[in-house]
Amino acid sequence: MARRCLAIVLAAGESTRMKSSLSKVLHPLAGRPLIGHVMETLSRAGVDHAALVLGRDAASVEKAAARPDLPTTTVIQTERLGTGHAVLAARSAIEAGYDDLIVVFGDTPLVTPETLAKARAPLSQGHDVVVVGFRTAAPTGYGRLLIEDGALVAIREEKDASDAERRIDFCNGGLMAIDGRKALALLSEIGNANAKGEYYLTDIVEVARARGGRAVAIEAPEAELMGCNTRAELARIEAAWQQTRRHDMMLAGVTMIAPETVFLSHDTVLGQDVVVEPNVVFGPGVTVEPDVLIHAFSHLEGAHVASGASVGPYARLRPGARLQEKSKVGNFCEVKQAEIGAGAKVNHLSYIGDASVGAETNIGAGTITCNYDGVNKHVTKIGANAFIGSNSALVAPVSIGDGALVASGSVITADVPADAVAFGRARQEVKEGRAALLRERYRAEKAARQKAK
């Protein structure tokens, strides 16, 4: 029978060191709040229930954490009396009875489901407490793991540690698995007689051993257990996340010429043989089919790009941009909430918003869909095989039929039927010889002024 597991997520901290009006766990990593990453890991690890221990911004954190595939309850820790006290705030969830209990921190988002599984494994072999540790060259600030004969005998917090203990480089990563049937009894015995006067969750190791129980430490990579207390640490976590994800994408068949300059979101999907040139940013919600070329300095968000299309350089695809097969959106073009049909081209300096562009249509340089009247947004419909001359303004709502031709420089305010030509500009006049006459007059006037001085 599968062991049932409760995860307690500690996120009641004040986030003082972030110096932010936003709770720490709501700060984004790869375009999604930290807490969202933690919850995804829990769900992928097959946790049955999560209890969120929250303090500030509880309603927003609860919303950011919610997942349809993971039943979650929220408890509020009203006083911050330490990590041991925080876990006990979820007492009623623990009382519901689980085989395994895991404790994770809301600000440690890089932990993998595999490490959670490894942490739970010793519980089924009769251990009461499993602590996930890591080795580091910079242990300052972490609790140190005291090991004797392969067993974990205590965790010593930095402030309570002796000089010899501070030299230990094996640290508490904050991730813990506890026998779910014994957890309440063990947690209730934790006191606060220490340097900070807090209830330390870490004391559970000594409590369990005093009752004849067994505790063990397992090791995970430091990168997985990086915690986020400051914005500088948040940036380090982001860098680690990006590096891992780019690497995975390259192994899956994506070419990145300068991977360190490409920024991905948690949900970016790039198909096989996609080529990404330097300095490209993928905001949330982007899917790119195979064989797409994304030129340098492009910014994509909420966009779908079909196979064979080409984007950029310097293109901006905003939410709702849908590029069909083999279409092109080129330099300094912005596309928002618009479909660009198969083989259509929007090559230079255009804004296409709230619009549809039919297959094989050519949008000339500098074309603007005027979608906003200051109050409402309106739609522009352009058919297939149409040609929009350069520097045209299409004032929505307006539609342009299949095969129609719009003369360049037009301001189009009324619908254009299929196969029609529309001019929306002043007719050109030519005055033979007039330029030479004007020049002579201007020179004469200038000479007269200089003489008068």
The site for Mg ion (CB under 5 A) is made up of 227
Q: Helix-strand-coil percent breakdown of the chain, rounded to 5?
A: 25, 30, 45
Please choose which of ligand UD1, Mg ion, none residue 142 contacts, taking the beta carbon within 5 to 8 angstroms, the exact cut-off set by kind: ligand UD1
Is there binding between residue 103 and ligand UD1 (CB under 6 A)? no
**Residue 181: how many CA atoms within 13 Å on its side-chain side?**
8
Strand 151-156 vs strand 144-148: parallel, antiparallel, or unpaired?
antiparallel
Please report where in the chains the tokens 């293109």 appear, as a residue.
315
Please choose which of ligand UD1, Mg ion, none residue 200 contacts, taking the beta carbon within 5 to 8 angstroms, the exact cut-off set by kind: ligand UD1
Quick one: which of 218, 307, 296 has its CA closest to 261? 296
Is there binding between residue 106 and ligand UD1 (CB under 6 A)? yes
φ/ψ of residue 95, rounded to 5: -65, -25
Q: How far is the CB of 17 from Mg ion (least distance, A)?
A: 9
Identified binder of ligand UD1 from the candidate list 171, 204, 249, 303, rule CB under 6 A: 171
3-state secondary structure 264-311: CCCCCEECCCCEECCCCEECCCCEECCCCEECCCCEECCCEECCCCEE
Nearest to ligand UD1 of 12, 416 (CB atom): 12
**Catalytic site residue 127?**
no
Looking at 85, 247, 304, 348, which residue is catalytic? 348
Rounded Cα–Cα distance for residues 331 and 323 (Å)? 15
Q: How far is the CB of 95 from ligand UD1 (least distance, A)?
A: 19
Q: How far is the CB of 109 from Mg ion (least distance, A)?
A: 13
Q: Site map for ligand UD1, 124-153, x if CB under 6 A?
A: ------------------xx----------
The helix (H) or strand (E) run that includes residue 91 is helix 91-95
- What would you report as the CA-atom Rg of the chain, rounded to the nearest whole angstrom? 31
Q: How far is the CB of 229 from Mg ion (least distance, A)?
A: 5
Q: How far is the CB of 22 from ligand UD1 (least distance, A)?
A: 14
Nearest to Mg ion of 227, 313 (CB atom): 227
Return the active site residues. 348
**What is the contact surface with ligand UD1 in residues (CB under 6 A)?**
10-13, 53, 77, 80-83, 85-86, 105-107, 142-143, 155, 157, 171-174, 200-202, 227
